[in-house]
Amino acid sequence: MMPPLHALLAGDGRGNRPPNRQRRPRAGEDGEPLGGRFCLRRRSWRTRMCSTRQAPPPRAEGYTAKQGVVPQQQPQVREQWPSSGGGGGSSTRARGGGAGWMGIGSGDRPLASSYDLVERMHYLYVRVVKARGIPVGAVTGACSPYVEVRLGNYRGTTRHHERMASPEWNQVFAFSRERVQATALEVFVRDRGVVARDDCVGRVVFDIGEVPSRVPPDSPLAPQWYRLEKVNHSGGGGRMVLQSEVMLAVWVGTQADEAFADAWHADAASVRGGGDGVAAALQSARSKVYVTPKLWYLRISVLEAQDVVAGGLFGDKLRQQVEVFAKVQVGGMMLRTKPCAMRNPTSLAWNEELVFVVAEPFEDPAVLIVEARAHPGKDEIVGRAVLPLTIFEKRLDRRAIHSQWFSLEPFGHPLRQQEARFAGRVHLRACLEGAYHVMDEPTMYVSDTRPTARQLWRPPVGVLEVGVLGAQGLTPMKTNDGRGTTDAYCVAKYGQKWVRTRTVVDSCSPRWNEQYTWEVYDPCTVLTLAMFDNCQLGNAGTAAAAGNSTVRDQRMGKVRIRLSTLEMDKVYTNAHPLVVLHPSGVRKNGELCLAVRLTSVSLASVVFLYGQPLLPKMHYLQPFTIPQLDALRRQAMSIAAARLGRAEPPLRREVVEYMLDADSHAWSLRRSKANFFRVTALLSGAASTARWLVDVCNWRKPVTTVLVHLLFVTLMCFPELILPTMFLYMSMTGLWNYRRRPRRPANMDARLSCAEATHPDEIDEELDTFPTSKPNDVVRLRYDRLRSVAGRIQTVVGDVATQGERVRSLLTWRDPRATALFTALCLVAAVVLYVTPFRVVVLVAGLYVLRHPRFRSRMPSAAGNFFKRLPSKADTML
């Protein structure tokens, strides 16, 4: 017997949920269960062991709590949900609970959905399309109708239309099953009053037990016209308003529904504000998918110019000293050539190349300006040319581009003759480079390496699926009515596709359960996710709508997952810690729960890519310089932030800059220390080997030393075993380390980043703007500290340079006696090595190094003394 259908929305959690349908595991799946469900009760993540309800999932890595003892709740992968039931209709007021549309029916067809990494969440959707036949008010003689949708304590309204009897809204409302405890859905049509309160035109009531269910790829539910029932407050029977109707569609769906992203959610019912502020705040709380604009490199070579100075602009005396240079501006970026001394006004040559980043569609033209500097600090515009980017050729290889002449127009000074519109001409070679990948993120965290031109793309080698499950233990980010609150949303970026989850209002344990998919063209790329606190809601959202640009979404933490560290066809379900730098120190803001799966289309294609260059071939055939790449990356980042900020809702600039690591090039004492410790850890293996060799040479462990002698003599007698022994040792080491391989993606390491023991002033310096906004005494203190650090680095670099110059001075006769002695020793060594077999020489040298400490001296060796006496160029430095 079926449970009451309204209980599915109320969610009593005691048997109303049907057992899951079992499925056969696919090839490559071991059917290992995840061990728990990812559910929310009393705003906490708890474990609920399900023995009979679990379907065999693919291999999955579970995550545990911070203490590492109690397992956290996880989603059941590929959970099969019950099939829908039979049909039925809904009248003005549908009554009865019957075998239901909305929950578990008796049909055999399972609900189809691609949301297999996240938990299925049911929503009651109400689409308000339009109304007709709304009567006019008795006082105003007009009507301003709007619709109010009420379900229990939740209430959502559409916008009102002034003086319109047949309005159209086409707005969707979504109510989560877990937050609903009512059994009836009420839809009111009201007339907004100017003086008195709003009048109720009529209503339509639905029994939620009779609401049909729908899961994509089913077609959208067709809306229907419903007659309005007159509300009678006196307690008598209601009467039907014959000429007033509203078109509605009511169904039960999941987060996979197409209407989910644009729907008004009951979670956002607490958003406050007035007028357009609420609309803007609700818009910023929706989940959206964004696409980075298509970026091109614009290469402009300024070759030469002719007749660039109009007669009489400069005197004959100054004409011999004037300097002329060209500037090219595209959007907000301007580059200039080196000045060219004007000796002949009919022939000016620069031969310089300028590179810009532009985005499709090409909105801003390239403006070339020729300026002359007659006096120091005074530049006068001689002429300019406005060049639309569409006239430039798109190049997909290294073929030569034909140059063109463009006329300059007078600009910046009054013309003597109105008909004179010629101020010279300039010779350019310009093209749009389509064979490069435009870098908008650091190379270490690159998520896409494809060239701009789609014709040069390789086929995808895999599919990346990410399920944003939720978060736990979030720190309150702001104060609302005297209590801490957090309005969290998550942003993910891979390749050109950005995704943003909806904002869960006022929750420290939000659940999203949204799943997204990307095509993978290179497995050696990085997926970046970050969590933010939405500060555009409520009073902050009203201030932002009023033009207050100081309201910025706060960072809560970032997660990076390198795809090459993931096994194919394996689900990783883990909680990733959220760590962010704050002026007061490092702040841990909770955990982000993700489910990630990388599926391979062809394993041979993936293996083939490991031998291919990371970037397109033009980056190696005609590379840019390091300063050019840094400037172009910052320009591309600015363009991407500007274009994504023009979307609706906008992806704010601070979000884009944080995702793209806009401040990765800035100076940071903390990062410098972290990189130094990374190098130290990298060389620790070599240092350990050196210490072990010293112990062997000093006979600290005689047994080990004897074994090393035997191995060394054996390899010298059989040199053909040296290389096979080395490679066999490395292969056995790799097999031995397989059992200790990482079982989950790496998390942000605050200890490795030197964030836990860093002084707050160092973090405040890292978070400072550029140029600085701190007072002079703080800047002076930080400058002195930087000088001391740079002084130590300078000493180390000088010591390295000194050792290299001593090596070079061996044969430069800087020290005649040392060079003569070294030359004679080299001649003797050449004769000895010629008459002595090489294995004998190596054997003797090895035994000499491994000699007993009784035959050693504590004084430095003769070779070391000789090397330290060699001269260097440090003597000639000031």
How is 671-731 classified by DSSP, letter by letter?
A: HHHHHHHHHHHHHHHHHHHHHHHHHHHTTSSHHHHHHHHHHHHHHHH-GGGHHHHHHHHHH
pLDDT of res. 824: 92
List the Cα angle 421/423/424 in 5-degree steps.
Answer: 125
pLDDT at residue 500 greater than cutoff 70: yes
Residue 414 · residue 396 · CB < 8 Å? no
199-218 confidence digits (pLDDT tens) = 788 889 999 888 998 877 88
pLDDT(70) > 90: no
More confident residue, 101 or 644: 644
pLDDT at site 256 = 86
Does 267 score more than 80 pLDDT? no
- 434 burial via Cβ count (<10 Å: 0-12, 13-18, 19+): buried
Say what the alpha-carbon torsion angle 157, 158, 163, 166 is, to the nearest 10 degrees.
Answer: -120
Among the ranges 51-60, 148-157, 516-525, which has the highest mean pLDDT value? Answer: 516-525
> How far apart (Å, rounded) are the C-alpha atoms in residues 652 and 641?
7
- Report whether pLDDT(473) > 70: yes
DSSP strand pairing (393-395 vs 526-533): unpaired
Q: Tokens 């006769």 label which residue? A: 813
* Contact criterion met (CB below 8 Å) for 428 and 386: no
Q: Which pLDDT score is estimated for 108?
A: 37
Map residue 394 onto helix, strand or coil: strand
Q: What are phi and psi of 151, to 5 degrees?
A: -140, 100
Query: For residue 292, what pLDDT band results from cuts at 50, 70 and 90?
Result: very high
Q: What is the per-residue pLDDT for 449?
A: 93
In this structure, are residues 429 and 436 in contact, taking their beta carbons and an 8 Å threshold?
A: no
Backbone angles phi, psi at 672, to 5 degrees: -65, -45
Is the pLDDT score of 24 beyond 50? no
pTM for the full predicted model: 0.77
The pLDDT of residue 54 is above 70: no
**Per-residue pLDDT tens over the stretch 647-657:** 988 899 999 99
Q: Biggest alpha carbon distance in the chain? A: 122
Is 410 a residue whose pLDDT tops 70? yes
Report pLDDT for 162. Answer: 81
Higher pLDDT, 22 or 651: 651
Contact partners, residue 612, CB within 8 Å, separation at least 6:
none
Confidence label for 340 from pLDDT (cuts 50, 70 and 90):
confident
Average pLDDT over every residue of 132-154: 80
Joined together, the tokens standing for residue 862 give: 């003769």
Q: In this structure, is the dihedral angle defined by the CA atoms of residues 759, 760, 762 and 767, taken in order, positive or negative?
A: positive
Predicted confidence at residue 206, as pLDDT, reads 92
Please state the rounded mean pLDDT for residues 767-775: 81
Please name which of 397, 579, 559 lies closest in space to residue 491, comparing C-alpha atoms: 559
Q: Once rounded to an integer, what is the mean pLDDT over residues 17-34?
A: 39
Amino acid at the residue 423: A
Please give the sequence-ordered ranges of beta strands (E in DSSP) within 331-417, or none if there are none.
333-336, 340-341, 348-359, 366-375, 378-387, 393-395, 404-407
Asked if 223 contacts 129 with a C-beta cutoff of 8 angstroms, the reply is yes
Mean pLDDT along residues 249-254: 92
Query: Rounded to an integer, what distance in angstroms lies between the CA atom of residue 255 and that of residue 170?
Result: 19
pLDDT digits (tens, 9 = 90+) for 362-408: 999 999 998 887 677 777 888 889 999 999 999 999 899 999 999 88
- pLDDT tens readout for residues 180-200: 788 899 999 888 876 667 778
As a whole number of angstroms, the distance between CA 29 and CA 626 comes to 46
pLDDT value at 313 more than 60: no
Q: What is the mean pLDDT of residues 15-30?
A: 39
Residue holding tokens 């400490």? 853
Alpha-carbon gap, residue 494 to 492, rounded angstroms: 7
CA-closest candidate to residue 439, choices 430, 431, 448: 448
Question: Residue 353: which of 303, 304, 399, 392 has the closest Cα?
Answer: 303
Range name among 68-72, 202-206, 260-264, 330-334 with the lowest pLDDT average: 68-72
Contact 568, 600 (CB under 8 A): yes
Q: Which of 415, 447, 187 is nearest to 311 (CA)?
A: 415
Residue 196, pLDDT score: 65
Q: What is the CA radius of gyration of the chain?
A: 36
Average pLDDT, the chain: 79
Of 194, 106, 114, 189, residue with least CA distance to 150: 189
Q: What is the pLDDT of residue 8?
A: 40
Give the residue-averaged pLDDT of 328-347: 81
- Residue 878: band (very low, low, confident or very high) from pLDDT cuts 50, 70, 90: confident
pLDDT band at residue 789 using 50, 70 and 90 as cut-offs = confident
Under 8 Å CB-to-CB from 609, ≥6 apart: which residues? 461, 522, 523, 524
In this structure, what token pair is assigned to residue 515? Answer: 């799943």
Structural domains of the chain sorted by starting position, each given as residue range(s) with its CATH number in brackets = 19-80 (no CATH), 122-270 (2.60.40.150), 295-433 (2.60.40.150), 456-663 (2.60.40.150), 666-690+699-773 (no CATH), 793-878 (no CATH)
pLDDT tens digits, 212-248: 988 778 888 899 999 888 876 555 545 555 578 899 9
Contact 118, 230 (CB under 8 A): no
Which pLDDT score, from 0 to 100, does residue 61 have? 44
CA distance 425 to 432: 22
| pLDDT for position 201 | 85
Looking at residue 454, its pLDDT comes to 93
Res 322 pLDDT > 80: no
pLDDT at 546: 45
Whether the predicted pLDDT of 501 surpasses 90: yes
Please check whether residue 158 is in contact with residue 171, taking contact to mean a CB–CB distance below 8 angstroms.
Answer: yes
E strands within 69-132? Answer: 122-132
Looking at the predicted structure, is the pLDDT value of residue 481 above 70? yes
Sheet with 585-600, side-by-side order of all strands: 60-61, 571-582, 585-600, 462-472, 511-520
Give the residue from 11, 14, 2, 43 showing the smallest Cα distance to 182: 11
Token pair 């970046």 in the structure block, residue? 528
